[in-house]
């Protein structure tokens, strides 16, 4: 797949990237995140913005050093629950680089992502983020990223939904993918306003069950 840089080429890799994403609060859907690579090194973070500030509708994705990479902001009013992404910090007059919206205003439909720098670059996110089971497809219906429940391979335990895996295919911008995770989490808040993260593990009796 040809490299797709949306946020920063530093986060586009030639091999598949697997991140472990953890919510930094178990009490409110929509709280902060941290994302770690396979070596346990912090890659991305989103500071907890908590229940009192969720209505601000603006979230900032940072790297491990606290540098602002991306700002996602809810577009109001919007029937399709539209969000827009801005490179770095959002400033007055700054134009967004992508938008995320519900594919339909009826029901809990798939999510459509448009990249403004390339009118032909569009992505569909299918599946259920609430269940940590969804796939990002490009315009050719090729998978570019996946969200799945995190499995402890040694204990054969599916971890709670506060911890999940984000797998990014070679050539796809992992900072862009993480920004889309923030939007999906907020769309889930709108779909399930009283939802709480289920942190109870699911135990598998299958000895072959692994991540």
| Tens-place pLDDT, residues 102-115 | 876 555 568 999 99
Of 77-86, 122-131, 195-204, which gets the smallest average pLDDT?
Answer: 195-204
Question: Does pLDDT of 90 surpass 90?
Answer: no
Q: Buried b / exposed e across 13-24, counting CB within 10 Å, b at 16+?
A: beeebbbbbbbe
Looking at per-residue pLDDT, the higher value among 15 and 209 belongs to: 15
What pTM value is reported for the model? 0.81
Write down the pLDDT at residue 157.
78
Confidence of residue 118 (pLDDT cuts 50, 70, 90): confident
Confidence of residue 197 (pLDDT cuts 50, 70, 90): very low
CB 149 within 8 A of CB 166: no
Looking at per-residue pLDDT, the higher value among 211 and 188 belongs to: 188
Question: Does pLDDT of 49 surpass 90?
Answer: no
Q: How far apart are CA 181 and CA 194, in angstroms?
A: 19
The mean of the pLDDT values for the chain is 81
Per cent of the chain over pLDDT 90 is 52
Residue-wise pLDDT for 133-179, tens only, equals 999 999 999 999 999 999 877 777 788 888 999 999 999 999 999 99
Write down the pLDDT at residue 172.
96
Tokens of 139: 């315009």
């Amino acid at each position: 797949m040809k490299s797709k840089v949306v946020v920063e080429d530093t986060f586009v890799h030639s091999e598949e990237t697997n991140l472990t994403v953890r919510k930094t609060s178990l009490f409110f859907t929509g709280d902060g995140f941290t994302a770690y690579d396979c070596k346990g090194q912090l890659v991305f973070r989103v500071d907890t913005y908590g229940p009192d500030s969720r209505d601000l509708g603006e979230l900032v994705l940072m790297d491990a050093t606290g540098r602002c990479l991306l700002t996602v902001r809810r577009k109001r009013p919007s029937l399709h629950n539209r969000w827009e992404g801005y490179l770095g910090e959002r400033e007055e007059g700054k134009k967004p680089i992508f938008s995320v919206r519900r594919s339909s205003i009826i029901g809990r439909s798939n999510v459509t992502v448009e990249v403004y720098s390339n009118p032909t670059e569009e992505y569909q996110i299918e599946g259920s983020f609430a269940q940590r089971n969804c796939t990002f497809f490009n315009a050719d219906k090729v998978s570019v990223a996946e969200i799945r429940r995190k499995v402890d391979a040694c204990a054969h335990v599916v971890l709670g939904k506060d911890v999940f895996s984000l797998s990014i295919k070679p050539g796809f911008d992992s900072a862009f993918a993480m920004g889309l995770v923030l939007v999906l989490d907020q769309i889930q808040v709108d779909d399930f306003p009283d939802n709480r993260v289920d942190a109870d593990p699911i135990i598998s009796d299958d000895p072959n069950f692994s991540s």
